[in-house]
């Protein structure tokens, strides 16, 4: 019986080019250019951002890949956990800031 | 010592065949020099590190004999092209002739490096309980280059790999080395640290990690050092066993293979050093030594310090195995850090 989110499937990411190869090639080139080298941000900083996004988007493939990438770029567990807290607090903030909309509508409804 | 290495029947081709990688890149890696004699004088160690390729521990007993020490000194004296003696182990300071070996090599005008694990200063000899607190002063008096493992600038990774409490002891030991002038600009006393990953992943960029180590060790502990060497974990012995038990061996080998870097391969350390085992046998490196892959001359005869022939050592074909992918991945790895 197969399961969703098999860790072995991460290796097959490159196979998305089996169909619509030109688009996959464009994506991987862009991906490599963004994450594969130091730019205005270091590779380490980019890996920490990617780790935070991986958690916010709840992608287990990305969490594995960017935990490793963070270590391979010299990040430490405190920095990695802080990045996850940034993702968590952003999600909490995004939820809470929507309560302004709730309050706006509440004011309209209440006599 | 005259055993001829018998070649086994050709094994099944492996996707991790290092020599095939070299052929694919049109590369040949003969020795370029023999400028370093790296001697593994004992497998005895006060620590039991989880990644140790030597499988060193307090229960190991292998030691280079007094005749072996004398022979190494004779080789150093006879061959001026061998400029460096690199002492490793185990904890090399636990060998009963360690001090005399260093003193005599220095008297011969050789550059002496010691792979010093830091904690041995405070732990002392695990069997005889002899104290080793004098080591910083001894090193300084003989202007020995000290190379010390410190897997990270925080306790979490360091203790996970080297044992509980090792980080705190390492900070104390570094403080004692700094007090003798080690790592202090202008002192001429060189203290280099070695980073290696705490699991099956590749080291971060050496320069960037060195900057982080310098900043953190200075700010948090007031410690200084000269350079940081990044080293990749070799998939052999204790570390390989861990990889196999945790089901990560093939993935780690895939990672090393995918990261093969021809520029790193050009600088592999076996091209400029020869490794000596506790029984006097010669090897292309400390890793081959632990895999019992003797260095051989052009006719396949095992080489030894007891019939040392410089030209045969320089002209030997280096023996490679799957583990060599560890030295050629990414920025490369050697006893002197990145190679590319």
**Segment A84-107, tens digit of pLDDT:** 999 999 999 999 999 999 999 999
Give me the torsion for CA of A49, A50, A55, A60, rounded to 10°: -160
> What is the SS3 assignment for B131?
coil
Residue percentage of chain B with pLDDT more than 90:
93
Distances (CA, A) of B219 to B112, B222, B324: 30, 6, 37
- Work out the number of other CB atoms within 10 angstroms of the CB of residue B162: 25
**Does A16 touch chain B if contact means CB atoms closer than 8 Å?**
no
By CB atoms closer than 10 A (0-12, 13-18, 19+), residue B17 is middle
- State the pLDDT confidence band at A7, using cuts at 50, 70 and 90: confident
User: Searching chain A, which residue's CA lies closest to the CA of residue B254?
Assistant: A11
User: For chain B, where are the alpha helices, taking DSSP H only?
Assistant: 18-24, 66-78, 98-107, 120-123, 135-141, 155-162, 166-179, 206-221, 237-245, 249-258, 262-266, 286-290, 310-314, 325-328
- State the pLDDT confidence band at B12, using cuts at 50, 70 and 90: low
Q: Quick one: average pLDDT of B215-221?
A: 98
pLDDT at A46 over 70: yes
- H or E element at residue A61: helix A60-72
Residue percentage of chain B with pLDDT more than 70:
96
Domains located in chain B, CATH noted: 30-251+268-322 (3.20.20.70)
pLDDT score for A11: 87
pLDDT at B31 over 70: yes
Distance from CA of A70 to the nearest CA of B (A): 9
pLDDT score for B1: 44
Q: Are B172 and B148 in contact (CB under 8 A)?
A: no
| Mean pLDDT (chain B, rounded) | 94
Mark yes or no for CB contact B157/A76 under 8 Å.
yes
pLDDT score for A6: 87
- Work out the number of other CB atoms within 10 angstroms of the CB of residue B331: 21
Residues near B316 by Cβ (< 8 Å), separated by ≥ 6? B31, B284, B295, B296, B297, B298, B303
| Mean pLDDT (chain A, rounded) | 95
Distance from CA of B220 to the nearest CA of A (A): 15
* Chain B, window 211-240: residues with a beta carbon less than 8 angstroms from a chain A beta carbon: 212
Alpha-carbon distance of B334 to B331, in angstroms, equals 10
Alpha-carbon distance of A99 to A14, in angstroms, equals 41
Residues near A56 by Cβ (< 8 Å), separated by ≥ 6? A87, A90, A91
The residue behind tokens 């320089």 is: B314
How would you classify the pairing of strands B273-276 and B282-283? antiparallel
- In a mutagenesis test of the A interface, which of B151, B203, B204 is the best target, namely the one with the most A β-carbons within 10 Å? B204
pLDDT at B21 over 60: yes
By CB atoms closer than 10 A (0-12, 13-18, 19+), residue A17 is middle
Mark yes or no for CB contact A74/B202 under 8 Å.
no
**Does A57 touch chain B if contact means CB atoms closer than 8 Å?**
no
Q: A73-82: per-residue pLDDT in tens?
A: 999 999 999 9
Q: B152-197: per-residue pLDDT in tens?
A: 999 999 999 999 999 999 999 999 999 999 999 999 999 999 999 9
Token reading at B181: 């002038």
Q: Are B250 and B202 in contact (CB under 8 A)?
A: no
What angle, rounded to 10 degrees, do the helices at B66-78 and B98-107 form? 10
Give the angle subtended at the CA of B331 by the CAs of B214 and B245, to the nearest 5°.
95
DSSP letters of A21-39?
A: HHHHHHHHHHHHHHHSS-S
- Residue range A20-109 in CATH 1.20.1290.10: yes
Mark yes or no for CB contact B156/A76 under 8 Å.
yes
Q: Quick one: average pLDDT of B245-271?
A: 95
By CB atoms closer than 10 A (0-12, 13-18, 19+), residue B125 is middle
**Does A68 touch chain B if contact means CB atoms closer than 8 Å?**
yes
How high is the ipTM of this complex? 0.80
| Cβ contacts of A68 on chain B, cutoff 8 Å | 201
pLDDT score for B50: 84
Alpha-carbon distance of B284 to B272, in angstroms, equals 9
- State the pLDDT confidence band at B14, using cuts at 50, 70 and 90: confident
Q: Quick one: average pLDDT of B246-270?
A: 95
**Does A37 touch chain B if contact means CB atoms closer than 8 Å?**
no
Q: B296-329: per-residue pLDDT in tens?
A: 999 999 999 999 999 999 999 999 999 999 999 9
Alpha-carbon distance of B46 to B113, in angstroms, equals 19
Global confidence as pTM: 0.90
């Amino acid at each position: 019986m197969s399961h969703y989110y098999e860790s072995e499937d991460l290796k097959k990411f490159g196979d998305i080019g089996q169909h619509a190869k030109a688009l996959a090639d464009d994506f991987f080139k862009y991906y490599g250019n963004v994450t594969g080298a130091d730019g205005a941000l270091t590779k380490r900083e980019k890996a920490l951002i990617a780790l935070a996004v991986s958690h916010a988007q709840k992608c287990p493939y990305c969490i594995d890949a960017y935990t490793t990438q963070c270590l391979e770029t010299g990040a430490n567990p405190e920095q990695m956990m802080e990045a996850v807290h940034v993702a968590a607090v952003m999600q909490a903030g995004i939820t809470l800031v929507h309560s302004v909309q709730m309050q706006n509508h509440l004011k309209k409804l209440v006599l | 010592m005259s055993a001829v290495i018998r070649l086994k029947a050709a094994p099944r081709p492996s996707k991790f065949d290092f020599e095939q990688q070299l052929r694919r890149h049109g590369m040949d890696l003969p020795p370029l020099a023999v400028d370093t004699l790296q001697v593994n004088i004992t497998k005895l160690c006060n620590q039991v590190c989880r990644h140790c390729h030597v499988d060193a521990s307090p229960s190991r007993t292998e030691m280079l004999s007094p005749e072996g020490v004398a022979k190494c000194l004779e080789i150093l004296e006879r061959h001026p092209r061998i400029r460096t003696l690199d002492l490793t182990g185990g904890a090399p300071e636990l060998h009963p002739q360690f001090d005399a070996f260093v003193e005599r090599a220095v008297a011969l005008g050789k550059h002496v490096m010691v792979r010093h694990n830091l904690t041995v200063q405070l732990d002392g000899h695990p069997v005889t309980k002899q104290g080793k607190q004098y080591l910083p002063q001894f090193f300084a008096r003989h202007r020995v280059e000290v190379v010390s493992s410190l897997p990270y600038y925080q306790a979490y990774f360091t203790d996970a790999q080297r044992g509980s409490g090792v980080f705190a002891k390492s900070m104390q030991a570094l403080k004692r080395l700094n007090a003798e002038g080690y790592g202090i600009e202008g002192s001429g006393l060189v203290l280099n640290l070695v980073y290696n990953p705490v699991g099956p992943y590749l080291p971060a960029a050496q320069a960037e990690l060195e900057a982080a180590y310098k900043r953190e060790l200075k700010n948090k502990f007031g410690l200084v050092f000269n350079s940081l060497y990044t080293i990749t974990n070799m998939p052999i012995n204790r570390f390989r066993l861990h990889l196999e038990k945790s089901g990560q061996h093939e993935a780690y080998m895939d990672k090393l293979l995918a990261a093969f870097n021809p520029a790193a391969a050009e600088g592999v350390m076996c091209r400029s050093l020869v490794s000596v085992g506790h029984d006097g046998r010669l090897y292309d490196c400390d890793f081959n030594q632990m895999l019992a892959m003797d260095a051989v001359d052009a006719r396949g005869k095992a080489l030894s310090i007891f019939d040392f022939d410089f030209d045969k050592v320089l002209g030997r074909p280096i023996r490679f195995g799957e583990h060599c992918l560890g030295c050629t991945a990414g920025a490369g790895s050697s006893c002197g850090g990145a190679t590319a």
